[in-house]
Amino acid sequence: MRCARDKITGLYVHVPFCDGKCGYCAFYSVRYQEALAEDYLDALERELAAAGPLAPETIYLGGGTPSVLTASQLERLLRMLLAKISLSRLLEWTIEINPGSLDAAKAAVLTALGVNRFSLGAQAFDDRVLQTLGRRHAAADTAKAVALLRKAGARNLNLDLIAGMPDCPRALWQQTLLSALALSPEHISVYALTNEEGTRLNRRWRQGKMKLLSEEEHLHRLDMAEALLAASGFKRYEISNYARDGFECRHNLACWRGEEYIGLGPAAASHVGMKRWTNCADLKAYGAALARGRRPPRAVEKLTPALKRQDQVIFGLRLAEGITPETASGYEESLATLQVAGLVERPNGRWQLTARGRNLADYVAVELIR
């Protein structure tokens, strides 16, 4: 799995451990055990060596919950990356953090070894709502985590919030947004709650034990977020993401723009050249293959120029910057139809979603791939 270093923009590392499973989460994770985490780090080191020389512009440590690792394990992970990759082009290094699993020692390790962007899964600021979501942290933990990171020198913080939460009336959602703003983050992500098959939330909904918001109310919550965040100096640069000037997430921007990236760890995805692949979502199989000197089992998709262009159009439209006429080549008829429907516009020569189109982005994507 040797890759030309100058073609890879991003490096993603999936840390598959959590201290439990959130009710809405469909991402691959296993319950944290210290010995299991050490085995994972052994396997990851082998996979990183097999990837060959890398000089990414961004590194993103996601999961799972990377911050559930001990301070010494986090240090091992970071030093492993520092030893194996070139930092000559590195601009951004992000780690996802559960507010309840951060302490001063971990914050110090992360900032000292070069992590410069911290994404905290706040989700809500009401303990009852957090319990409904199956989160294991309390509302006060987010403020404590922000304070720890600021004291350690962090200058780029993101807070994740979930819109459309059960047991969260409009007034409480507004207070959630205000509570997030009070912590002065540089970036805020607002994700719509999704009812994913196989999650505890979905099972409770099917059993009639949980009532979810209507689509209309869901969209109203997203509109509330946009209005309040815009009034507070945040720019909506992607459907779910808001940032102060200069603090847009470089890693995710590169992915949405169709740039190439390598993913390491179980369930991690990669896009290199005319291929996309995803490692097996099985920690045991992942580690066993690498221990035998083999690549992890993975699902591979061979891309065509048409498929790559389709991705550039669909993901590019998620961005406020939109797509150029060159990128839109071959999609003019579909875009014209969507324009008549008031879902896209072309104000400065670039195709962009309208406000209504942002709320119906999934529908727009379906129409474009017909």
Alpha-carbon gap, residue 196 to 270, rounded angstroms: 23
> Which pLDDT does position 272 carry in this prediction?
96
Q: Where are the alpha helices (DSSP H) in 71-184?
A: 71-84, 104-112, 127-133, 139-151, 170-182
Distances (CA, A) of 61 to 58, 117, 118, 250, 264: 10, 10, 10, 14, 10
User: For tokens 């319950």, what's the residue?
Assistant: 31
> Which pLDDT does position 28 carry in this prediction?
83
> Which pLDDT does position 5 carry in this prediction?
54
Q: Token digits for 168?
A: 């969260």
User: For tokens 């006060």, what's the residue?
Assistant: 140
> Which pLDDT does position 187 carry in this prediction?
99
> Which pLDDT does position 27 carry in this prediction?
76
> Which pLDDT does position 19 carry in this prediction?
86
Q: Are strands 344-345 and 235-238 parallel, antiparallel or unpaired?
A: unpaired
C-beta of residue 224 within 8 angstroms of C-beta of residue 177: yes
Q: Where are the alpha helices (DSSP H) in 152-211?
A: 170-182, 200-206
Distances (CA, A) of 15 to 79, 150, 154, 226, 291: 15, 24, 21, 31, 18
User: For tokens 């052994």, what's the residue?
Assistant: 42
Alpha-carbon gap, residue 197 to 202, rounded angstroms: 6
> Which pLDDT does position 265 carry in this prediction?
98
Domains and CATH numbers, the chain: 5-256 (3.80.30.20), 305-370 (1.10.10)
370 residues of the chain, pLDDT tens digit each: 444 556 899 999 999 999 877 877 767 889 999 999 999 999 999 999 999 999 999 999 999 999 999 999 999 999 999 999 999 999 999 999 999 999 999 999 999 999 999 999 999 999 998 988 888 899 999 999 999 999 999 999 999 999 988 878 999 999 999 999 999 999 999 998 877 777 877 777 778 877 788 888 889 999 999 999 999 999 999 999 999 999 999 999 999 999 999 999 999 999 999 999 999 999 999 999 999 999 999 999 999 999 999 999 999 999 999 999 999 999 999 999 999 999 999 998 999 999 999 999 999 999 999 8
On the 0-12 / 13-18 / 19+ scale of CB atoms within 10 A, 34 is exposed
Closest by alpha carbon to 74, among 121, 40, 46?
40
Please state the separation of Cα 180 from the chain's center in Å. Answer: 18
C-beta of residue 69 within 8 angstroms of C-beta of residue 22: no
